[in-house]
Structure 1
Amino acid sequence: MPSTQVWAQAADAAAENIRASGSNDIIVTARRQEERLQDVPISITVFDQKQIDNRNVVSALDLAKYTPSLAANSRFGAENTTFSIRGFYQELRTTASVAVYFADVVSPRGGGSTSGGDGAGPGSFFDLQNVQVLKGPQGTLFGRNTTGGAILLVPRKPEDTFGGYVEGRVGNYGMRRVQSVVNTPIGDQARLRLGVDWQDRDGYLRNIAPTGPDRFADINYVAARASLVVDLTPDLENYTIASYTRSDNNGPIPKVTNCNTTRNGATLPTGLLSCDQFAREQGLGRYVVENTVPRPGIELDQWQIINTTTLQASDSLTIKNIASYAQLTSTSRTEAFGTRWIMPETFLGQPTGDLAGRELSFVPVMAAPGLASNDQSTFSEELQFSGSAGAGRLTWQAGAYYEKSNPLGTYGNQNPSNLSCADSDTFQCVDALGRVLGREGRQGSLSRQLTRTTFRNIGLYGQATFDVTDSISLTGGIRYTWDKTNSVARKQVIRFPAENDARIYCLNPALGPNGPVQNPDGSFDFSNSIDPAAAATACQQSIEQKSKAPTWMLGADFKPADNILLYAKYSRGYRQGSTNPFGGDGFETFGPEKVDTYEVGAKTSWSGAMPGNFNIAGYYNDFTDQQVQLGLINLQGLVAPNTAIVNAGSSRIYGVEVEAAISPFAGFDLSASYGYLNTKLKTLTPVTIPPGSLYNFVLFTSLAGEALPYSPKHQASVTASYSLPLPESVGTVTLSGTYSYRSKLITTYTSAEGTLRPLSLLDLNLNWESVAGSPIDLGVFATNVTNKYYYTHVNEQSSSGFISRYLGEPRMYGLRVRYRFD
């Protein structure tokens, strides 16, 4: 079994326990039961609610900043962030490689053409007991799609005393945030907890285009949660959580940072337009962007009900049933590549006439008219048995899991590519670039892709630990999972041989008479278009993918002394295959992937005058049947670029993780963590384009022989905290700071520009608890104190003449006031 790693465990929450006992008494649920953190031989990073507040963690991207071995991709907004742990990242249109759990239930599915679901959206990080980041495959107790690990959000459970708080925050960029939590007993057998979190903040990206709002990358969400615990009998407890999240903001936009006008000696028309945009923005500020999408924004509506019933059948047997139902709907309309090209009066030596001044863009991401980008329900049911035998020397768990995720309706996107559109929803578009180049109707196009996707997942599992002696334990576990995905998809391409003259075709030529017909010379005949009246049902395709696999874990741990734990483990992880209804023709499905992981480590703690702890873990992963992303391109511009997922990779991953904390003297606590990650894509199997495909060029976003994307080699974090020696009547005043470092981060291998530079950030906090003995707490916080200008993701499109990048947050600061009542 793996060892415990507490990467960013700030000493302010643990110092008193360390000083008192030389150990850390934080309770975690990493093995699906409550245990003392230091006794759990699993590699974990833990943040309690105080640490989350001090670091101003609002989004999944914020969490990754403080957690070595954890990375995040927020290209499609904070609502749709995907995680990577130890090099296991999630490609667009695959299932998660890092599962996110709230109250023992996996996050609701998305299933759309953009990322959505399977994560931790806005409003997820308030009123929590803690956040646990589990490293490495968790395929026995947590199931499929945890090849990288799992993130557990543990909410505060209702308590048997009355109390709560109201908190307000204000900050720069017009930030306003209000939180309130009330906990109350209801008689002798029930307890209720209610909470709400609301935040509104202006965006730090300034839009200089006439279309859209003035600001992007803003925050606007509300999250509400109600929890009720009822003791039905002394041995039977019912725990229900109802939650709701609504987020509505303008979304992020990348900034064009590079342009090139030629490629392989040929002029790039889109490169010329990109360079015009690049020059236009110079001198207007670092955080200037441009938008062409009407009504841009990212909306998220999610609600969920979780019911957990626990029966203490006997001293040695516990039966637990966990049932959940959730609905998730998200809609994205965003300038995903940050391009706003303006047609000049003269272009490539030709007058542009009435096209002068017309706007066009590369490929905006837009929900189809009247539909959502993701629209899915998720039901899950888990029956769990746990117990002990042999005077407590054997502890065990076993259970069955069922999940069904159904579409709430048809959902999907439409993407205008190289078009100038007054309203793409009603096909009011012109192929401006094509007309100027003498290729009208062939340079720009609009893709419309709709789907209804259903997921079904079934699992059976068991795990047991046997104490061979008082200091040696052996653990074994196995799980078998059956997965099935069904999609019904409609993929259409709309071309404009004349202004506002829409001609509709099936995007997949294999779907019959309304698809493009390939000529003997390799070109395509687009003469047989779909009757607009039949377009709503034409081009329909049914897709199915099944996968199944066992996963397991074998481990041993040895405690030569009370405060020393040594461990070793071997485990198998598995990520399901699935459908890709929006992939290019011939690439609509992909198979499962698997990983074998070997891990050893040690964990120690000590008391005395300078209490502390030191943990170290080393691991090696053998990764096969890897799901990798493939870019699909038509070099003649017949259709917009697309992506595919193929099982074409095999990788090896190894690393070391170290964590240490110490309290040199009363009031001063210091903690540090470091992660070293070495990844290599060993092989990448060549991919052949199916005959008759509209695409004639493929491009992997990874490169054989190189490191994997989103796998920084070095990550480190240092937190120092000092409480001033003041009288108790004054309150507790604590100064703290966190320095985090991440080495270069590769987002894509399509060029050297796909690598993000090393990044170091400094955050500071000043907290005054119980001001003058009152129930009032004050705080001042600042993130990115040195105001670093940095990027979080790269769109590498040199083949189209530009590179754009998403910008990280500048310096953020604010003041918080909390009133506690009981």
Structure 2
Amino acid sequence: MFARIFKTSLMLGVGCAAVYAAPAMAQDATPSAPEKPQTGRRESPVVNPGDIIVTARRTEERLQDVPISITVFNQEQLTNRNVVSAADLATSTPSLSANTNFGSQNSSFAIRGFVQDLGTAPSVGVYFADVVAPRGASNGLPSGDGAGPGAYFDLQNVQVLKGPQGTLFGRNTTGGAVLLVPQRPTDLFEGYVQGSIGNYDMRRVQAVLNVPLADTFKVRLGVDRMKRDGYLHNTSGVGPKDFNDVDYLSARLSVVAELTPDLENYTIATYSRSDTHGDAQKMIAADPIYNLGRFAAEQLDPDSANYQGSGFYDFAQDLPNARSLLNVWQIINTTTWRASDTLTFKNIVSYGELKNTFNNPIFGTAFMSPAIAAIGLPSYRFGFASSQPLPGHRTADESTFTEEFQVQGRTSDDRLNWQIGGYLESVRPLDVVGSKSPVIQSCAGPEAVAASQCYDILGYLAAVTPVFFGGAFDPTEHAGAINTTAGRTSFHDVGLYAQATYKISDQFKVTGGFRYTWDRERNTSVQTTTITGYPLSYPTFQPIPAGPLFTFCTYPDAAVQNPNAVNGCRRDLKQKSSAPTWLIDFDYTPTDDILVYAKYARGYRAGGIAPNVTSAFAIFDPEKVDAFELGAKTSWHGSMPGNFNIASFYNKFSNQQLQLGFNANPCQSTDQDGNCVAATVSPTAAPVNAGKSRIWGIEVEGSISPFEGLMLQVGYTYLNTRLTSVKTFALEPGSPYVLSGTYLVGDPLALTPKNKVTVSGNYTLPLSDSIGKITFGATFTHTDRMLANTGNRFYYGCNGTAGANLPSCQAGAITDPDTAAYIQSLSYLQPTDLLNLNVSWENIAGLPIDAAFFATNVTKEKYYSYISGLATGTGFQTAAVGAPRMYGLSLKYRFGS
């Protein structure tokens, strides 16, 4: 059905579109200036920001004329800084952070403290060629919504827009937008081939070919292929030898057809495939007397046979077939028609598909059970929890269709500029998706998981050696299980908008915008828990073979909701939300080089569904933000040209969506002896409407060229975030979960450093053209300490008061105070100082050949990029590890005009 809609819209678009507003790039804004050839040649690093053209308001404007705080990178800057992922872009951008909890393929952005938590709609929209990134709903795991592998090559620029942009952009977001603007085909025959090599066996090849088949028909083809070994070394001997690797292929075909002088059709087809071992976390702390910490401690003990290794990038995991496979393709068609000098029409239609297979250990555990010689019990390897695809299905398998129609106009005296439009986004599942996740299970391999032929090794240990667990487990109870989720999720979003700017005078303008959005989400899922058998017989109870014993609904209330559903476990969840958003802006330009503005915007982010938790928390409502901003932009020329931009902002959240951790309840029920029986669910997280918060801060960006050849740039952001009101959450008696991550009034928001500064400089040697252009560059980024999670702050482990009924502790056991204090400190990510260097030599000896060297994290900073907050429920903590020093060389050959 949607394929037919796409084809129909594609054909209709030719007859009802508007003059294409060419995406922004660093070029002269004067209309009479000739178009610069796009051959991949690097431009001078000394670029006047007043000459940069952006499309932040869906039309071409000078960067310094737009009353929005924007950071812009051209392709040269992206290449010099080795930006190939969301995390790389965030490192170089003040106010921008990346959440890499589930790996570089599934990263999401945060701007000014507006964070996208697991299971929520994006707080920062990512757009490629004016079209939002495809979604990939996956029943509890993130997929889609971002700029994936291979997105950062052959671009005109990347624009980071800060603050709510919901009036003009397709999907409502509260934090901002990241615009990736691809290079358009030009009227020149040209192209380039570039090869790169580097450490960790990095190999990369890029090629671009631009061919004008006729004066009115131009084609551009680009390919980017990159491979790199992972920097996390797996020491367990099980599965891949390295993780956090890179292996992608990206291709792009662009066609511009000028059907008449006033009618243009611009089509882009993109394809990306990434096939890696995935990203993983490593063990960083364990409490040896609390819960699973006794096994995790062995991974940190140099005297243990299960030691994960002494290197910062050493870790251990137990998944033999770890793999992260992502396939994304998309077709975008933009048709524009200039009906007159004052009226244009534009139609943007797209269709794409995202398929993701996520088979990942996530937490980096490779536990070993103790051998008991007296009964012939060997040591078994088992893991804490992993995410493995539902047999025969993918983790995400979605199609995304979007249709947007715009009308842009202005009065003949150019005092009033306006645009109106409508937006439709429809996301449909292509197949059932889901996961089958062993929790505290010993599984021989993927076939054993698929058939539920795993062992509950800890359940057996608790029965045969009760003193090992403080005597808290009954011989008939179980410790582990296999949790299975299968379902479908769909989204439907509609928006109508209008915005206009009126010149009260040549210096004073007022802008007003309004949008109304309707969002709908539906999820149907079946979630079950399978109890598996013990590995060996023992005289005190009946021998039980490996494999499933019985299966029940993970969430018992599902059967109450749907008594006639398959297995009694099916849940049908729906969420509808709608809201108006608006913008009021005043800007004053006393001279061409000075802009002062003030604006107020209402932002809205849709509510949604969390199918991976109990019904009381399965639906969450929309959040809203009122954003106030004052800013100024200045630029100057002369012998020391430069610019200075500053913005101050205040944001007030209501009904804010924040992530709450759900850990297995260690005492879901009690047996006949009064001992606790633990729940057998996987740890998870879900969004809740936690309350209210406020964010205020200052952003500064500036550049100056003290003398010819030298360009200095600085970007700084100060963020002050605070929860001002917090709801109290409680789970129903007998819930399989306990809550982790209690929020308190006064808490800062997660992943929001108070201070972040980026300083960069480029110097081009004064050499003749016969030698070429040699440029040295450096970028330094400091990021303050920031909150990563709220769960570990209240970690006490076994503090001597828990009592004998908790299976996590023996009666009277006391956690070492230093261990507890260290785990509590792991609620925060420590400050980082990253230095990147680059050297380029363009037009070597006057030839169309360029060479470049880059190095990132030159000082070998060792840091964690994410800490999830598991310890309170598990007794151990894992973390995502930031990239080590990377370096490489590239050689580019340019050809054509």
Q: Same fold (TM over 0.5)?
A: yes
- 2:701: which partner in 1? 659
Q: Is the 8 A contact 2:697 2:719 kept in 1?
A: yes
Alpha-carbon distance, 1:409 to partner: 0.4
Mapped pair 1:796 → 2:869: yes
Alpha-carbon distance, 1:434 to partner: 1.4
For residues 687-716 of structure 1, what are the alpha-carbon distances to aligned partners after superposition, in whole Å with 9 as ceiling and x for unaligned?
132466333x22236443111001011110
Task: Work out which of the residue numbers 703, 718, 722 in structure 2 matches 1:676.
Answer: 718
SS of the residue corresponding to residue 458 of structure 2 reads helix
For residues 312-341 of structure 1, what are the alpha-carbon distances to aligned partners after superposition, in whole Å with 9 as ceiling and x for unaligned?
011110100000000001111111111111
Provide the rounded CA distance (Å) in 1 between the counterparts of 2:145 and 2:240. Answer: 29
- 1:265: which partner in 2? none
Give 5+ residue unaligned stretches, structure 2.
Answer: 1-23, 27-41, 464-472, 535-545, 668-677, 793-824
Provide the rounded CA distance (Å) in 2 between the counterparts of 1:575 and 1:674. Answer: 27
SS of the residue corresponding to residue 24 of structure 1 reads helix
Q: Is the 8 A contact 1:506 1:514 kept in 2?
A: no
Provide the rounded CA distance (Å) in 2 between the counterparts of 1:700 and 1:53. Answer: 39
Provide the rounded CA distance (Å) in 2 between the counterparts of 1:269 and 1:645. Answer: 26
Alpha-carbon distance, 1:352 to partner: 8.3
- 2:281: which partner in 1? 254
Mapped pair 1:543 → 2:573: yes
For residues 269-317 of structure 1, what are the alpha-carbon distances to aligned partners after superposition, in whole Å with 9 as ceiling and x for unaligned?
4111011111143654221111111210111000000000000011110
> What does 1:358-369 align with in structure 2 at a 5 Å threshold?
358-369=380-391
Provide the rounded CA distance (Å) in 2 between the counterparts of 1:354 and 1:416. Answer: 25
RMSD: 1.9
Task: Work out which of the residue numbers 867, 881, 886 in structure 2 matches 1:807.
Answer: 881
Mapped pair 1:821 → 2:886: no
Q: Is the 8 A contact 2:526 2:570 kept in 1?
A: yes
- 2:829: which partner in 1? 756
- 1:768: which partner in 2? 841
Alpha-carbon distance, 1:147 to partner: 0.3
- 1:496: which partner in 2? 532
Q: Is the 8 A contact 1:216 1:253 kept in 2?
A: yes
Alpha-carbon distance, 1:537 to partner: 5.8
Task: Work out which of the residue numbers 705, 712, 717 in structure 1 matches 2:758.
Answer: 717
Task: Work out which of the residue numbers 193, 198, 203 in structure 2 matches 1:166.
Answer: 193
SS of the residue corresponding to residue 210 of structure 1 reads coil
Provide the rounded CA distance (Å) in 2 between the counterparts of 1:701 and 1:327. Answer: 38
Q: Is the 8 A contact 1:14 1:24 kept in 2?
A: no
For residues 234-292 of structure 1, what are the alpha-carbon distances to aligned partners after superposition, in whole Å with 9 as ceiling and x for unaligned?
11100000000000000112111111124xxxxx2411101111114365422111111
> What does 1:28-107 align with in structure 2 at a 5 Å threshold?
28-107=54-133
Alpha-carbon distance, 1:353 to partner: 4.6
- 1:746: which partner in 2? 787
For residues 105-140 of structure 1, what are the alpha-carbon distances to aligned partners after superposition, in whole Å with 9 as ceiling and x for unaligned?
000011112111100010000000000000000010
Provide the rounded CA distance (Å) in 1 between the counterparts of 2:227 and 2:561. Answer: 48
- 1:512: which partner in 2? 559
The amino acid of 2:710's aligned partner reads F
Q: What TM-score, normalized to structure 1?
A: 0.93
> What does 1:469-618 align with in structure 2 at a 5 Å threshold?
469-498=505-534, 499-512=546-559, 539-618=569-648
Distance 1:283 1:544, change over 3 A: closer
Residue range with higher mean Cα deviation, 583-592 or 201-210: 583-592
Task: Work out which of the residue numbers 661, 666, 675 in structure 2 matches 1:635.
Answer: 666
Q: Is the 8 A contact 1:703 1:749 kept in 2?
A: no
- 2:804: which partner in 1? none
Residue range with higher mean Cα deviation, 387-396 or 376-385: 387-396
Task: Work out which of the residue numbers 478, 484, 488 in structure 2 matches 1:448.
Answer: 484
- 1:784: which partner in 2? 857
Mapped pair 1:205 → 2:236: no
Distance 1:53 1:683, change over 3 A: same
> What does 1:291-310 align with in structure 2 at a 5 Å threshold?
291-310=317-336
Q: Is the 8 A contact 1:344 1:352 kept in 2?
A: no
- 2:263: which partner in 1? 236
Provide the rounded CA distance (Å) in 2 between the counterparts of 1:480 and 1:659. Answer: 33
Q: Is the 8 A contact 1:731 1:771 kept in 2?
A: yes
- 1:147: which partner in 2? 174
Q: Is the 8 A contact 1:584 1:632 kept in 2?
A: no
SS of the residue corresponding to residue 477 of structure 1 reads strand
Provide the rounded CA distance (Å) in 2 between the counterparts of 1:495 and 1:817. Answer: 57
Provide the rounded CA distance (Å) in 1 between the counterparts of 2:127 and 2:558. Answer: 40
Q: Is the 8 A contact 1:208 1:289 kept in 2?
A: yes
Residue range with higher mean Cα deviation, 480-489 or 697-706: 697-706
Alpha-carbon distance, 1:542 to partner: 0.9
Q: Is the 8 A contact 1:441 1:496 kept in 2?
A: no
- 1:522: which partner in 2? none
- 1:392: which partner in 2? 414
> What does 1:324-473 align with in structure 2 at a 5 Å threshold?
324-345=350-371, 353=375, 355-422=377-444, 423-438=448-463, 439=473, 441-473=477-509
Mapped pair 1:687 → 2:729: yes
Provide the rounded CA distance (Å) in 2 between the counterparts of 1:352 and 1:466. Answer: 87
Q: Is the 8 A contact 2:575 2:609 kept in 1?
A: yes
SS of the residue corresponding to residue 50 of structure 2 reads coil
SS of the residue corresponding to residue 300 of structure 2 reads helix
Provide the rounded CA distance (Å) in 2 between the counterparts of 1:581 and 1:413. Answer: 13
Give 5+ residue unaligned stretches, structure 1.
Answer: 7-11, 263-267, 516-529
> What does 1:115-134 align with in structure 2 at a 5 Å threshold?
115-134=142-161
Provide the rounded CA distance (Å) in 2 between the counterparts of 1:336 and 1:355. Answer: 29
Q: What TM-score, normalized to structure 2?
A: 0.85
Provide the rounded CA distance (Å) in 1 between the counterparts of 2:183 and 2:549. Answer: 55
Alpha-carbon distance, 1:727 to partner: 1.3
Alpha-carbon distance, 1:803 to partner: 0.9
Identical aligned pairs, as a percentage? 48
Provide the rounded CA distance (Å) in 2 between the counterparts of 1:726 and 1:513. Answer: 79
Provide the rounded CA distance (Å) in 2 between the counterparts of 1:97 and 1:514. Answer: 32
Give aligned pairs, total.
782
- 2:141: which partner in 1? 114
The amino acid of 2:397's aligned partner reads D
> What does 1:170-189 align with in structure 2 at a 5 Å threshold?
170-189=197-216
- 2:17: which partner in 1? none
Distance 1:392 1:456, change over 3 A: same
Distance 1:172 1:321, change over 3 A: same
Provide the rounded CA distance (Å) in 1 between the counterparts of 2:340 and 2:349. Answer: 23
For residues 483-541 of structure 1, what are the alpha-carbon distances to aligned partners after superposition, in whole Å with 9 as ceiling and x for unaligned?
011111111111125432331111121233899xxxxxxxxxxxxxx9xxx99865111
The amino acid of 1:459's aligned partner reads G
Provide the rounded CA distance (Å) in 2 between the counterparts of 1:730 and 1:559. Answer: 44
Provide the rounded CA distance (Å) in 1 between the counterparts of 2:560 and 2:756. Answer: 55
Provide the rounded CA distance (Å) in 1 between the counterparts of 2:779 and 2:45. Answer: 16
Provide the rounded CA distance (Å) in 2 between the counterparts of 1:53 and 1:43. Answer: 23
Alpha-carbon distance, 1:210 to partner: 2.2
Distance 1:355 1:401, change over 3 A: farther
Provide the rounded CA distance (Å) in 2 between the counterparts of 1:547 and 1:315. Answer: 39
Alpha-carbon distance, 1:585 to partner: 3.3
SS of the residue corresponding to residue 484 of structure 1 reads strand
Structure number having the greater strand percentage:
1
Runs of 4+ in 1 over 6 A off after TM superposition: none
